[in-house]
Homo-oligomer: A and B are copies of this chain.
Amino acid sequence: MIELRQLEMFAAVVRAGSFSAAARELRCSQPAISQQMRALERAMGGPLFVRAGRWLELTAAGRLLAERTTVMLAELAATRQRVRAVAAEDFDTVRVCGFPARTRT
């Protein structure tokens, strides 16, 4: 299964240009990146990067995924924000509050 965390990591790698730079950006170890990118490549059925020693290059599949990933992560973030906004002023769920008071008869 394809995981969301992997897409975030992938986006960071593309943006940063290397696994270690992405790890610094995401505040995690680069073995974590390496693992997840391997898993992502397995899920995608082939390599996404060309390991060119110093720097990374994207394969054709990698370029396509990078483009789509950017869009999808942005959509997800926007959705989250909008849903949270609606949930905050929920018109469907009625909240009732009260306080103790003396009966006035």
Contact = CB atoms under 8 A, between A and B. Distances in A.
B80 A50 contact: no
**Copies of this chain, tallied across the complex:** 2
Interface residues of A, number: 36
B65 A79 contact: yes
B76 A72 contact: yes
Interface in A25-66: 43-48, 50, 57, 59-61, 64-65
Interface in A68-100: 68-69, 71-72, 75-76, 79-80, 82-84, 86-88, 90-93
A87 B72 contact: no
19 contacts: A3-B4, A44-B80, A45-B84, A46-B88, A46-B93, A48-B87, A57-B92, A59-B92, A60-B87, A60-B90, A60-B91, A61-B90, A64-B86, A65-B79, A68-B79, A68-B82, A72-B72, A72-B75, A75-B75
